[in-house]
Chains A and B, each alone.
Chain A
Amino acid sequence: MRPAVDRRIRVLIVRRRLEEVAATLVERATGRRPAQHRVVRRRLLLLSAGVPAERWPGVHAVARQAASVYEATSAVLHSNCAFGDVPEHLVREWEAVVVRAESECPAAGA
């Protein structure tokens, strides 16, 4: 498989994993899993909800990074920006953010 295609699929997977994190957060908060993946960026901010004060800044930063990555993957997958290859380092960075987000929301990454 061409490296560019591989990266594009990984971007899609990043986005999907973030959607799962967002859905899990909603489920935790409301007790009900949402039917659709909507307002994902806002839902990701729930990562820092209820976190003890001493951990809150760090977790909130992860939440904001995750939201930002979700927006970036949207731009790529919806062709909001010019169609082009996504650099490998960027995909890795996004994947690292997802791992951090999932670690704050264990059920999502399970």
Chain B
Amino acid sequence: MLSEVTFAEIADLVRREVERGYESEKQEGRRRLLGVVDGLAADEGDDVDARAVQGRTWRVAQIEVSGIGGISRLVPSPVTFLPVRGITVIRGLNGQGKTSLARALECALSGRRDLADEVSGELWNAALLTQGSAVGTVSVGLVSGSARLDVTVDFPRDGEAGIRAALDEGSGAEPVVLGSGWQRALAAARASYSYGALQSRLVESRALQGFLEELLLLGPAWEQVRAAVSDRAERATEAKRTVENALTAGKRREREIRERISAHGVVDPPPSILWPRVQAGLDADAWLRSLDLGAESNGSVRVSGDHEQRIADIRCALIDAEARLDLAEQALDAPGIAGAAHHIEQILAIDAIDDAVCPLCGAASAWRDHAREVVAGLRDRSEAAGLVMGALTDLRDWATAELEPLLASEITGGPEAELTAFREATAQGCHARSAAHACAGPLLAAVTSQPYRDWLETMRSWSQAAVAWRDELVTITRTCADVMRENMAAAADAGVWKKAQDTLDDLQLTLRQRRQDAVTRQMHAALTRMLPDAAVELSAIRHQGTIKQQRGVDVTLTIGGQEATLGMLSSGQRNALLLTPLTVLDGAAPFGFLVVDDPVHALDDTRVDLLAQEFSRLAGERQVIVLTHDPRLEEHLRARHADLTVVELYRDPVARTVSWTRHTEPWQSLLDDAREIRKSATTDGWAYTEPLMSVVAGLCRTAVDGAIRQATITRAVQRSEDVEQALTDLADALTTGARIKLVTASAGGKTELPALERARAGHLRFWNEGAHGQLDETVDLDAVLDVTEAACRELADHDWAQG
């Protein structure tokens, strides 16, 4: 049997790889893979629905259905089953609700209505709910030991299905969530097998291959690991791609900016950006710091915003100072008088001198006032000279700070000569009436002239463009840095996760090979059992293509040693082949049941018997529920299972209710019917044209004939004889009497079947004549029924393997 690969097995395989490996990126990939597997295994352990899965072997105890498919409701409800290993046959003609019941069970366990779509597409989806029902409901009761799980699913006409489950472990029902663990187990168990669903794939070109492909899958745990690793690898690759794309976009934009700068041809381009490679350890902030993209980094000049204002201020200050100097000097009208002023001040300080008489000439005058005017004039002159020097100094400093850099730019023009003269003059000092003073005028005149303003405007426009480009570069690099910060942690792992994927691919190759061998071996054995006389051999089932580019499954068949295709099989043989995968499904917990819908298609009696044989084998390990319209399967199963349970469905086409009754054996139900008819005829009257006695006689004879037919099949099966031939021999015996003789002989004589012999001797005539309307009115019907039942029971209980 095929089992799904578990997390523990995957972890073991990866751990072995890690132990064998040496330090490398691949080894890191293996470690990461191991981490993923361990993480998923831990999550699985924490799954809230673990109680519903672990340690369970669920069997179906009951099903309630309302408003689903062809079933508006079941009567009585629910349909109950013995939750044990063995076979239950649900029989009914076409359109009685068998498939609706099977699909309802499957949809309920999964909580998915789209399963129905997978079976028959949109048509079934549209008919999932019974016409007129707003909501369909399925309740399934499962039993495992003393635990019981009730799953109820509501399928509203519009919207999602709502699934509720309650687990009772002996201390009352508790709600339980049927989550991923349940779904995984359900998918792995493939507890529902619809032949119709499989057959519907035959209309597609790949036919059987799809189903085989599912068989070859390693199970949900493997898929989960693969999905998790792929997800991480994809995320890492995507992150790396994002960073690379950001860097590429940054480079492209830098190139565009440089082309624009270059087209200007004046401003020096900023230094080239050193773009990093996407690799582990790349630090976005360190990279940003390493870039020289400061305010002056583009080598261009910048014209300050108050450039003209500063010139105007300096000029005004100089003009004011000069005007004041001129006034002071005019007032003094004697250059070089400052030295005398000192002496005058000394004299003025002598109080003993008479204020009214000049101490120098002796003339009577207000000499002190005159002397003070001289001193004040000298002081004014000195201060004015200081202001002039201050203005000149400001001019010098401004020229150094602002004008000189502008003149150093590539843009020609500007008062270079005036500045040079002024700069040389100021080297001697900035005193009033000095050379510097003399040179300041021309310079100021130049920097306030129209040509200068034009030159400055040009300068300013280039400067602004340069700043804009620099800012643009800063933005680009910062954007890249942001992308790097966000993605580098993941992007750096891209290589490692790729290696993890490689490791997973290697392991999958190994496991896949094992799986292919197992599926081929088991299906070959099953096919040989199902088609022993057809010389059909299944020599290989193989995946085609690589792991990354799988191209389906190749089935190699031979018929009589010659290579063959599926199309060369008869429809019965092909159907038998389609049923063989059933035999390689894993019957392990937690789903200890198998529901098979409508497995008999175009199978002859021999094939039906072989199918019954396979079901019997499966029933040894799980509860098998077979839904079929073909009564032959029931017969052949009964030949192997005396305690076969049969549920018969009948659907009222108007009310859409589906009634069900449980039968033990067909002859028993006939005799039960006969007794029921006899009883109801006396109370409710008799509505048929044929007399009651005739009908009872007919049912008795049919029951005996049925019991003989069943005994014939059972005998052939138990003695490993040809069932078809046995039935042909029986059909050659045209009367019930002849059949009794035949079956008595095969049992070893009349002594082996005394009850049958008693019935034959006492009632064969009644059965025959009654059935043909030639009645013996004196017959005690109850006695006939008892004797008939005893004869049938004897045939059913006889050990046909002996003799």
A interface list, Cβ under 8 A from B: 1-5, 8-10, 12-13, 16-17, 19-20, 36-37, 76-85, 87
Q: Which B residue's beta carbon lies closest to that of A37?
A: B772
Name the contact of B91 in the complex, choosing from A5, A36, A84, A87 (C-beta under 8 A): A84
Name the contact of A79 in the complex, choosing from B92, B661, B690, B702 (C-beta under 8 A): B702
Selected A-B contacts with CB under 8 Å, 16 pairs: A1-B680, A10-B688, A12-B771, A13-B688, A16-B690, A36-B772, A76-B702, A78-B701, A79-B706, A79-B708, A79-B709, A82-B631, A82-B634, A82-B635, A83-B709, A85-B93
Distance A80 CA – B690 CA, assembled complex (angstroms)? 23
Query: Is B92's CB under 8 angstroms from A85's CB?
Result: yes
Known: A2-B661, A13-B690, A16-B694. A8 touches B772 (CB 8 A): no
- Cβ–Cβ < 8 Å partners of B676 in chain A: 1, 5
Distance A8 CA – B680 CA, assembled complex (angstroms)? 16
Known: A12-B694, A16-B690. A1 touches B774 (CB 8 A): no
Distance A80 CA – B710 CA, assembled complex (angstroms)? 11
Name the contact of A16 in the complex, choosing from B92, B631, B648, B772 (C-beta under 8 A): B772
Query: Is A12's CB under 8 angstroms from B772's CB?
Result: no
- Cβ–Cβ < 8 Å partners of A80 in chain B: 705, 709, 731
Name the contact of A9 in the complex, choosing from B630, B667, B688, B701 (C-beta under 8 A): B688
Known: A16-B694, A19-B772, A78-B702. A4 touches B648 (CB 8 A): yes
Interface residues on B, range: 35 or more
- One digit per residue, 1 when the CB lies within 8 angstroms of any chain A CB and 0 when it does not, for chain B 632-665 equals 1011000000000000101000000000010000
Distance A77 CA – B772 CA, assembled complex (angstroms)? 11
- Report the minimum CB–CB distance from B263 to chain A (whole Å): 91
Distance A83 CA – B706 CA, assembled complex (angstroms)? 7
Distance A8 CA – B661 CA, assembled complex (angstroms)? 16
Distance A3 CA – B660 CA, assembled complex (angstroms)? 12
Name the contact of A5 in the complex, choosing from B677, B706, B708, B773 (C-beta under 8 A): B677
- One digit per residue, 1 when the CB lies within 8 angstroms of any chain A CB and 0 when it does not, for chain B 660-701 equals 010000110010010011001000000011100011001101
- Cβ–Cβ < 8 Å partners of A83 in chain B: 631, 634-635, 666-667, 706, 709-710
Query: Is B630's CB under 8 angstroms from A8's CB?
Result: no
Name the contact of B698 in the complex, choosing from A1, A77, A87 (C-beta under 8 A): A77
| Chain B interface SS verdict (over half) | helix
- Cβ–Cβ < 8 Å partners of B705 in chain A: 77-80
Query: Is A1's CB under 8 angstroms from B635's CB?
Result: no
Given contacts A8-B702, A9-B677, A12-B771, 13 further A-B contacts (CB under 8 A): A1-B677, A5-B673, A9-B695, A10-B688, A13-B688, A16-B773, A37-B773, A79-B705, A80-B709, A80-B731, A81-B631, A83-B635, A83-B667
- 9 nearest A-B residue pairs (beta carbon): A84-B631, A82-B631, A83-B666, A79-B705, A79-B706, A12-B698, A82-B632, A37-B772, A5-B673
Distance A13 CA – B689 CA, assembled complex (angstroms)? 8
- Cβ–Cβ < 8 Å partners of B690 in chain A: 9, 12-13, 16
- Cβ–Cβ < 8 Å partners of B673 in chain A: 2, 5, 8
B736: Cβ under 8 A from any A Cβ: yes
B interface list, Cβ under 8 A from A: 91-93, 630-632, 634-635, 648, 650, 661, 666-667, 670, 673, 676-677, 680, 688-690, 694-695, 698-699, 701-702, 705-706, 708-710, 731, 736, 771-774
- Report the minimum CB–CB distance from B27 to chain A (whole Å): 65
Q: Which A residue's beta carbon lies closest to that of B652?
A: A3
Name the contact of B93 in the complex, choosing from A2, A19, A87 (C-beta under 8 A): A87
Name the contact of B699 in the complex, choosing from A8, A17, A20, A37 (C-beta under 8 A): A8
- Cβ–Cβ < 8 Å partners of A13 in chain B: 688-690
- Report the minimum CB–CB distance from B742 to chain A (whole Å): 13
Name the contact of A77 in the complex, choosing from B631, B689, B702 (C-beta under 8 A): B702
- Report the minimum CB–CB distance from B278 to chain A (whole Å): 73
Query: Is A3's CB under 8 angstroms from B677's CB?
Result: no
- Cβ–Cβ < 8 Å partners of B670 in chain A: 8
- Report the minimum CB–CB distance from B714 to chain A (whole Å): 14
Distance A1 CA – B689 CA, assembled complex (angstroms)? 16
Query: Is A3's CB under 8 angstroms from B650's CB?
Result: yes
- Report the minimum CB–CB distance from B713 to chain A (whole Å): 9
- Cβ–Cβ < 8 Å partners of B92 in chain A: 85
Interface centre among B630, B635, B667 (most CB of A within 10 A): B635
- Cβ–Cβ < 8 Å partners of B774 in chain A: 36-37
- Cβ–Cβ < 8 Å partners of B688 in chain A: 9-10, 13
- Report the minimum CB–CB distance from A19 to chain B (whole Å): 6
Distance A16 CA – B689 CA, assembled complex (angstroms)? 10
Q: Which B residue's beta carbon lies closest to that of A14?
A: B690
Distance A84 CA – B695 CA, assembled complex (angstroms)? 18
- Report the minimum CB–CB distance from B694 to chain A (whole Å): 7
- Report the minimum CB–CB distance from A49 to chain B (whole Å): 23
- Cβ–Cβ < 8 Å partners of B702 in chain A: 8, 76-79
- Report the minimum CB–CB distance from B772 to chain A (whole Å): 5
Q: Which A residue's beta carbon lies closest to that of B704?
A: A79
- Cβ–Cβ < 8 Å partners of B631 in chain A: 81-84
- Report the minimum CB–CB distance from B604 to chain A (whole Å): 13
Name the contact of B736 in the complex, choosing from A4, A76, A78, A84 (C-beta under 8 A): A78
Distance A30 CA – B648 CA, assembled complex (angstroms)? 47
Query: Is A19's CB under 8 angstroms from B709's CB?
Result: no
Known: A9-B695, A12-B698. A77 touches B771 (CB 8 A): yes
